[in-house]
A and B are shown apart, each in its own frame.
Chain A
Amino acid sequence: TQLLEQSPQFLSIQEGENLTVYCNSSSVFSSLQWYRQEPGEGPVLLVTVVTGGEVKKLKRLTFQFGDARKDSSLHITAAQPGDTGLYLCAGPKSFQKLVFGTGTRLLVSP
Chain B
Amino acid sequence: DVKVTQSSRYLVKRTGEKVFLECVQDMDHENMFWYRQDPGLGLRLIYFSYDVKMKEKGDIPEGYSVSREKKERFSLILESASTNQTSMYLCASTGTYEQYFGPGTRLTVT
Interface residues of A (CB under 8 A from B): 9, 31, 33, 40-45, 48, 88, 90, 92, 95-98, 100-103
Can you list 18 A-B contacts (CB < 8 A)?
A: A31-B97, A40-B9, A40-B103, A42-B4, A42-B92, A44-B101, A45-B98, A45-B100, A88-B43, A92-B97, A95-B50, A96-B94, A97-B58, A98-B99, A100-B42, A101-B42, A102-B40, A103-B42
A88 partner residues in chain B, CB cutoff 8 A = 42-43
A14 CA to B63 CA in the complex, in Å?
43
Nearest first, the 4 closest Cβ-Cβ pairs linking A and B are A42-B101, A100-B43, A102-B42, A96-B31
Interface residues of B (CB under 8 A from A): 4, 9, 31, 33, 40-43, 45, 48, 50, 58, 90, 92, 94, 96-104
Interface residues of B, dominant DSSP: strand
A98 partner residues in chain B, CB cutoff 8 A = 97, 99
A102 CA to B40 CA in the complex, in Å?
6
Interface residues of A, dominant DSSP: loop
B100 partner residues in chain A, CB cutoff 8 A = 45
Judging by beta carbons under 8 Å apart, are A42 and B90 in contact? yes
A9 CA to B42 CA in the complex, in Å?
11
Judging by beta carbons under 8 Å apart, are A96 and B43 in contact? no
Do A48 and B42 form a contact, CB below 8 Å, given A42-B92, A42-B103, A96-B50? no
Judging by beta carbons under 8 Å apart, are B104 and A41 in contact? yes
Do A33 and B97 form a contact, CB below 8 Å, given A42-B92, A101-B42, A102-B41? yes
B9 partner residues in chain A, CB cutoff 8 A = 40
Judging by beta carbons under 8 Å apart, are B96 and A96 in contact? yes
Q: CB within 8 A of B45: which of A44, A48, A97? A: A97
Judging by beta carbons under 8 Å apart, are B102 and A48 in contact? no
